[in-house]
Amino acid sequence: MTVTSLQIFTDVPGKIEEGVAVAVKAKKMAIAHGAEDMRMGQIQTGQYTGHWIVATFFANMEAYGKAIDAMSQNPEFRALAASVPGKLVSRTLIRGADIG
Protein backbone atom coordinates (compact mmCIF):
# COMPACT_ATOMS: atom_id res chain seq x y z
CA MET A 1 0.00 0.00 0.00
CA THR A 2 1.22 3.47 -0.85
CA VAL A 3 1.95 6.03 1.84
CA THR A 4 1.44 9.78 1.58
CA SER A 5 2.80 12.20 4.15
CA LEU A 6 0.89 15.49 4.30
CA GLN A 7 2.13 18.56 6.12
CA ILE A 8 0.30 21.87 6.36
CA PHE A 9 2.18 25.10 7.04
CA THR A 10 0.96 28.60 7.76
CA ASP A 11 1.32 31.17 5.00
CA VAL A 12 3.92 33.85 5.58
CA PRO A 13 3.08 36.82 3.33
CA GLY A 14 6.06 37.92 1.26
CA LYS A 15 7.88 34.61 1.72
CA ILE A 16 6.33 32.49 -1.05
CA GLU A 17 9.53 32.33 -3.10
CA GLU A 18 11.53 31.38 -0.01
CA GLY A 19 9.07 28.60 0.83
CA VAL A 20 9.13 27.26 -2.72
CA ALA A 21 12.95 27.28 -2.71
CA VAL A 22 12.95 25.23 0.51
CA ALA A 23 10.44 22.79 -1.02
CA VAL A 24 12.55 22.35 -4.17
CA LYS A 25 15.57 21.38 -2.06
CA ALA A 26 13.46 19.17 0.23
CA LYS A 27 12.00 17.33 -2.78
CA LYS A 28 15.47 16.51 -4.11
CA MET A 29 16.53 15.19 -0.71
CA ALA A 30 13.32 13.21 -0.17
CA ILE A 31 13.61 11.53 -3.57
CA ALA A 32 17.28 10.76 -2.91
CA HIS A 33 16.16 9.01 0.29
CA GLY A 34 13.40 6.96 -1.34
CA ALA A 35 10.33 9.14 -1.87
CA GLU A 36 8.60 8.77 -5.22
CA ASP A 37 7.48 12.39 -5.51
CA MET A 38 6.71 15.55 -3.56
CA ARG A 39 4.16 18.23 -4.40
CA MET A 40 3.33 21.58 -2.84
CA GLY A 41 0.32 23.85 -3.19
CA GLN A 42 -1.71 26.49 -1.45
CA ILE A 43 -5.04 25.40 0.06
CA GLN A 44 -8.00 27.23 -1.47
CA THR A 45 -10.99 26.16 0.65
CA GLY A 46 -11.87 25.01 4.13
CA GLN A 47 -10.29 25.30 7.53
CA TYR A 48 -6.74 25.82 6.22
CA THR A 49 -7.47 28.28 3.39
CA GLY A 50 -4.30 30.17 2.51
CA HIS A 51 -2.01 27.66 4.18
CA TRP A 52 0.52 25.61 2.21
CA ILE A 53 0.35 21.83 1.91
CA VAL A 54 3.26 19.55 1.09
CA ALA A 55 2.51 15.97 0.03
CA THR A 56 5.31 13.41 -0.16
CA PHE A 57 4.59 10.04 -1.76
CA PHE A 58 6.16 6.67 -0.96
CA ALA A 59 5.69 3.18 -2.42
CA ASN A 60 4.92 1.64 0.97
CA MET A 61 5.42 1.98 4.73
CA GLU A 62 8.89 0.42 4.57
CA ALA A 63 10.06 3.04 2.05
CA TYR A 64 8.51 5.79 4.17
CA GLY A 65 10.23 4.53 7.33
CA LYS A 66 13.63 4.24 5.67
CA ALA A 67 13.35 7.71 4.15
CA ILE A 68 12.24 9.37 7.39
CA ASP A 69 15.01 7.64 9.34
CA ALA A 70 17.64 8.70 6.81
CA MET A 71 16.42 12.30 6.54
CA SER A 72 16.20 12.72 10.30
CA GLN A 73 19.90 11.74 10.50
CA ASN A 74 20.91 14.12 7.71
CA PRO A 75 22.19 17.45 9.13
CA GLU A 76 21.55 19.23 5.80
CA PHE A 77 17.91 18.11 5.82
CA ARG A 78 17.43 19.09 9.47
CA ALA A 79 18.82 22.57 8.75
CA LEU A 80 16.56 22.87 5.71
CA ALA A 81 13.50 21.83 7.73
CA ALA A 82 14.36 24.45 10.34
CA SER A 83 14.43 27.13 7.61
CA VAL A 84 10.80 26.66 6.48
CA PRO A 85 9.22 30.13 6.63
CA GLY A 86 5.82 28.93 7.90
CA LYS A 87 4.81 27.16 11.08
CA LEU A 88 3.82 23.49 10.87
CA VAL A 89 0.16 23.23 11.91
CA SER A 90 -0.79 19.71 10.81
CA ARG A 91 0.85 16.44 9.85
CA THR A 92 -1.05 13.45 8.51
CA LEU A 93 0.09 10.05 7.27
CA ILE A 94 -2.18 8.30 4.79
CA ARG A 95 -1.94 4.62 3.86
CA GLY A 96 -3.46 4.19 0.42
CA ALA A 97 -5.74 1.44 -0.79
CA ASP A 98 -5.60 0.04 -4.33
CA ILE A 99 -8.96 0.84 -5.89
CA GLY A 100 -7.93 -0.20 -9.39
CATH number assigned to the domain comprising residue 34: 3.30.70.100
pLDDT for 99 equals 86
pLDDT for 98 equals 84
For residues 71 and 30, give the distance between their C-alpha atoms in angstroms, rounded to a whole number: 7
- Residue 1, in any domain of the structure: no
pLDDT (mean) for 41-61: 96
- Residue 28, in any domain of the structure: yes
Whether the predicted pLDDT of 100 surpasses 90: no
Residue 77: which domain range? 6-95
Whether the predicted pLDDT of 47 surpasses 90: yes
pLDDT for 33 equals 96
Tens digit of each residue's pLDDT (9 = 90 or more) over 79-89 = 999 999 999 99
Tens digit of each residue's pLDDT (9 = 90 or more) over 8-33 = 999 998 998 999 999 999 999 999 99
- Residue 63, in any domain of the structure: yes
Q: Is 35 exposed, middle or buried (0-12, 13-18, 19+ CB in 10 A)?
A: buried
pLDDT for 44 equals 97
- Are the CB atoms for 19 and 50 separated by under 8 Å? no
Query: Domain count of the chain?
Result: 1
